[in-house]
Amino acid sequence: MDFSAKMLRDDALKGKVIVVTGGGSGLGKAMTKYFMELGAKVAISSRDLEKLKNTAKELETETGGTCLAVQCDVRHYDQVEAMLQEVLKVYGKVDVLLNNAAGNFISPTERLSANAFDTVIDIVLKGSKNCTLAFGKHWIDTKQTSSTILNIVTTYAFTGSAYVVPSAAAKAGVLAMTRSLAVEWAKYGIRSNAIAPGPFPTKGAWDRLLPGDLAEKFDMSKKVPLGRVGNHQELANLAAYLVSDFSAYMNGEVIVIDGGEWLKGAGEFNMLEAIPEELWNQLEMMIKAKKNS
């Protein structure tokens, strides 16, 4: 099966203007590329303007679409407002906000400085809040009748997770914001949904989180019932659907795309998959013998 196959028809996002935070690389870049292939005009933002410009140029060449690079540190509300105004100046409107910018550390929490903890909270939660508030206020003030917010969260936003406590706390906040605003802002024509991805390796992020040979030692595919990690196009397919008009009745939903990973970890007896077939036969005979005694 070709997991890199594209899902929607070529004009599915024609006429839409989409802003992707953290769009210069990794999953943000993959989603941006597909949005452009589907006819959307896209603005990508991050702190690294040079990287953004290179990505925008590359994607325009590959897709024939339009991509605007706008420098913005989402931790600062004034920069978010300036980014929004730049997009409006160039494109005239914004239809979709994709809150994708993130930061993370894998570390025992007691080893983290207060500043390191704040860095993750500020990028993930405060950054998503800043963008959501700025764009939401604009849409409400201008009486735009159809707008979409899509947030990238994670499955441990549901459960929490050791060793990524700042990220877990921040993503849980974004998840709560997604569901809350889905109800509160629906009357303004603003939909709010989220995606909770499982393992979708990106070179930059995964090299930082699992440097050296750690990525091989902690093979994420072994945790996934489907036995593999995700292909970037699979995530891009889902994101494109959720920002398209085809999903117009979806609001307040958080969709997990992880091959069953988090459910495997949640089930109390899921570790029994390690029992070989012959041992199950022995256990069955032992249980039957006990019943008959």
Residues 6+ apart with CB under 8 A from 187: none
- How far apart CA 97 and CA 17 sit, in angstroms, is 9
> Is 156 a known active-site residue?
yes
Mark 203-224 as b/e (b = at least 16 C-beta within 10 Å).
eebbeebbeeeeeeeeebeebb
- How far apart CA 90 and CA 93 sit, in angstroms, is 8
Q: Residue 118 is encoded by which pair of tokens?
A: 């704040």
The active-site residue out of 34, 156, 188, 249 is 156
* Nearest partner of 178 among 141, 125, 246, 239, judged by Cα: 125
Ramachandran region of residue 260, left (φ > 0), alpha (ψ -120 to 50) or beta? left
Report the 3 state secondary structure along 6-55.
CCCCCCCCCCCEEEEECCCCHHHHHHHHHHHHCCCEEEEEECCHHHHHHH
Mark 233-267 as b/e (b = at least 16 C-beta within 10 Å).
bbbbbbbbebbbeebeeebebbbbbbbebbebeee
In this structure, are residues 21 and 123 in contact, taking their beta carbons and an 8 Å threshold? no
As annotated, the active-site residues are: 156
